[in-house]
Amino acid sequence: MDRLRGRFPPSPHPAPAPPVPALTPARPLNVLLVGFDSTSKNGFIRSMPETFRSLQEDLGAVVMDGYNILGDGTPATLFPLLTGRTELENPDRRTSVSVKESVDDLPFIFKRVRSHGYRTVYFEDHPNIGTFNFRFTGFRRQPADHYLRHFFKLANEFNKKDWYCIGDTPSFLLMLEKTEEFMKLDGPKFAFTFIADITHDRTMLSVADSDTAAWLRRLRDGGHLEDTLVVVHADHGPRYVKQRSTLIGKLEERLPFLSIILPERFKRSHPDALLNLRGNKRTLTTPHDLYHTYLEIMGLREYQNSYRVPGSSFQRGMSLVGPIPKNRTCADAGVEAHWCACVKWTRVAEQDPLYRRSAEALVQYINTLTEEMRSNCAIRTLSHISYVQQQAPSKQLLTFRQSIDYDGFVPDFTAYTGEKKQTFSVKIAVGPGHGVYEATMTYSLTEDAFQLDHRTISRSNAFIIEVNENDDEDEDDDDDEQVQTESEHESDMEIDL
């Protein structure tokens, strides 16, 4: 590979290195974002078990469950993430329009932070489909101090790069190693490394698992977590797989992976930051929020975008180290309905056959769990149904097939995603013992049966020691009255992811 490097000319427009600031206690914090193309949260967990475990157990990362895409394809994520604006809010730099100016004048974070003394990195390993080159005019001058596009282009031209490697080194590993070298330089640093070679067209993410986990541990062992925000993320889930036509596939496309490791120094100076981040774990979040987050950690709030969607009570982008409202909607966050992964719980009518069947299935399952202790545990019987609700994805999500225009803005709503499984939430009261239980269960349409798991069942009242039959009857009446009151106040609602 060294021989290969020697054949490559330097960048035609090298960016001068910024001055290195003096070492002071107030030195700005570093930011390191490492992204994987086409990787859902669940897909990352399936394909990168060692890395996922290391992120949570070794590095203290918070994995965001409600991280939602903003549109179709990589630019819909990277424009907000790197400029604070959507593609449509930036000047039009598509190759399909008459204006052929480069994207140099867009407010990319690289040049903004360089004016504050930061060294910068922008690495992508797939120049043929580079985010701002594939259907955009690209950069006339390299956007960051360190930029690998020229390297990978010449590697292709010299036939020294096959689909996944340069020489005997996987492209993803070369990118990680170069990023690691960069993080050892002096001065504040901002790095954005985006890996597409092994994930864009093929689901080969698993080959990077052990190397990525080891790389992250080296960052920790090298002391980088003291003053560096580390973000491992994805732009969107898989888009070119058969599963995309299913409900699960559509949800995975809309819910990419995002994990965040806060700098130790920032956690010490902002004691509530980690608590807030964990509190936002299951809340709807977007790339706009990630942009606001790293700017806040860098102390550069002046570049945050204060835009509010008309009619919304909240800013569109909000820092993840501050509290994000639990009642935030996709409309508040700037997510169109057909890209929104949030679901509604709709009440199942009492006349619906599944209303009572779901409750009875829960009672039967509870009795199955206590079968081996029948000498000590009475058989439970259904005494009251507080509610039965069904999870309902939006019509736009279910009927979205694909974007029909080249730029990914015009949706095709001609698909029908037939659901083979439905999710129900049930709350019941049983006797004897006055137990109140809540459960989430799955109904299989093909098997016409409910499927339960003990991990999704919870008892929501305390155990009561029975004294006599009269007490039992009195308490039973009180319990029914209490449950009925709860039922009267339950209503259809949206949930946080």
pTM score above 0.85 = no
Q: What's the confidence (pLDDT) of residue 383?
A: 94
Q: What is the C-alpha separation between 205 and 46, in angstroms, rounded?
A: 10
C-alpha closest to that of 357 among 434, 424, 419: 424
Provide mean pLDDT across the span 144-165.
Answer: 84
Q: Identify the band that residue 421 occupies on the pLDDT scale cut at 50, 70 and 90.
A: confident
Q: What's the confidence (pLDDT) of residue 240?
A: 66
Whole-angstrom Cα Rg for the chain: 26
Q: Identify the band that residue 401 occupies on the pLDDT scale cut at 50, 70 and 90.
A: low
Provide mean pLDDT across the span 318-333.
Answer: 94
CB of 342 closer than 8 Å to CB of 326: no
Q: Identify the band that residue 451 occupies on the pLDDT scale cut at 50, 70 and 90.
A: very high
Provide mean pLDDT across the span 467-486.
Answer: 42
C-alpha closest to that of 197 among 216, 169, 225, 222: 169
Q: Which amino acid is at 405?
A: D
Burial of 337 (0-12, 13-18, 19+ CB in 10 A): middle
Tokens of 266: 């920032």
Whether pLDDT at 491 is above 70: no
pLDDT (tens digit per residue) in 84-108: 999 999 999 999 886 779 999 999 9
Range with lowest mean pLDDT among 160-169, 183-192, 413-422: 413-422
Whether pLDDT at 4 is above 90: no
Provide mean pLDDT across the span 220-236.
Answer: 98
Taking the CA atoms of residue 96, residue 101, residue 105 and residue 106 in that order, the dihedral angle to the nearest 10 degrees is: 0
Range with lowest mean pLDDT among 139-153, 185-199, 351-365, 424-438: 424-438
Q: What is the C-alpha separation between 407 and 405, in angstroms, rounded?
A: 6
Q: What's the confidence (pLDDT) of residue 406?
A: 57
Residue with more model confidence, 464 or 305 = 305
Kindly report the number of other CB atoms within 10 A of residue 40's CB atom. 24
Strands 228-234 and 258-261: antiparallel
* Best mean pLDDT range from 155-169, 212-226, 247-261, 338-352: 212-226
Whether pLDDT at 435 is above 70: yes
Looking at every residue in the chain, the average pLDDT score rounds to: 84
Q: How many residues does the chain have?
A: 497
Provide mean pLDDT across the span 127-133.
Answer: 88
Provide mean pLDDT across the span 332-336.
Answer: 92
Whether pLDDT at 10 is above 80: no
Q: Identify the band that residue 82 occupies on the pLDDT scale cut at 50, 70 and 90.
A: very high
SS (H, E, C) the chain: CHHHHHCCCCCCCCCCCCCCCCCCCCCCCEEEEEEECCCEHHHHHHHCHHHHHHHHHHCCCEECCCECCCCCCCHHHHHHHHHCCCCCCCCCCECCCCCCCCHHHCCCHHHHHHCCCCEEEEEECCHHHCCCCCCECCCCCCCCCEECHHHHHHHHHCCCECCCEECCEEHHHHHHHHHHHHHCCCCCEEEEEEECCCCCCCCCHHHHHHHHHHHHHHHHHCCHHHCEEEEEEECCCCCCCHHHHCHHHHHHHHCECEEEECCHHHHHHCCCHHHHHHHCCCCCECHHHHHHHHHHHHCCHHHCCCCCCCCCCCCCCCCCCCCCCCCCCCCCCCCCHHHCCCCEEEECCCCCHHHHHHHHHHHHHHHHHCHHHCCCCCCCEEEEEEEEEEEECCHHHHHCCEECCCCCCCEECCCCCCCCEEEEEEEEEEECCCEEEEEEEEEECCCCEEECCHHHEEECCCCCCCCCHHHHHHHHHHHHHHHHHHHHHCCCEECCC
Whether pLDDT at 24 is above 70: no
Kindly report the number of other CB atoms within 10 A of residue 313's CB atom. 10
Range with lowest mean pLDDT among 90-94, 207-211, 403-407: 403-407
Q: What's the confidence (pLDDT) of residue 477?
A: 44
Provide mean pLDDT across the span 333-347.
Answer: 84
Residue with more model confidence, 34 or 439 = 34
- CB contact set of 148 (below 8 Å; sequence gap of 6+): 123, 124, 125, 175, 178
Q: What's the confidence (pLDDT) of residue 463?
A: 57
CB of 184 closer than 8 Å to CB of 223: no
Q: What is the C-alpha separation between 149 and 125, in angstroms, rounded?
A: 7
Q: What kind of fold does domain 2-339 have according to CATH?
A: Alkaline Phosphatase, subunit A (3.40.720)
Which sequence spans correspond to the domains of the chain? Answer: 2-339, 344-494
Q: Identify the band that residue 314 occupies on the pLDDT scale cut at 50, 70 and 90.
A: very high
Residue with more model confidence, 8 or 473 = 473
Q: What's the confidence (pLDDT) of residue 96?
A: 86
Provide mean pLDDT across the span 337-345.
Answer: 79
Q: What is the C-alpha separation between 291 and 371, in angstroms, rounded?
A: 53
Q: Identify the band that residue 402 occupies on the pLDDT scale cut at 50, 70 and 90.
A: low
Q: What is the C-alpha separation between 276 and 219, in angstroms, rounded?
A: 24
Burial of 181 (0-12, 13-18, 19+ CB in 10 A): exposed
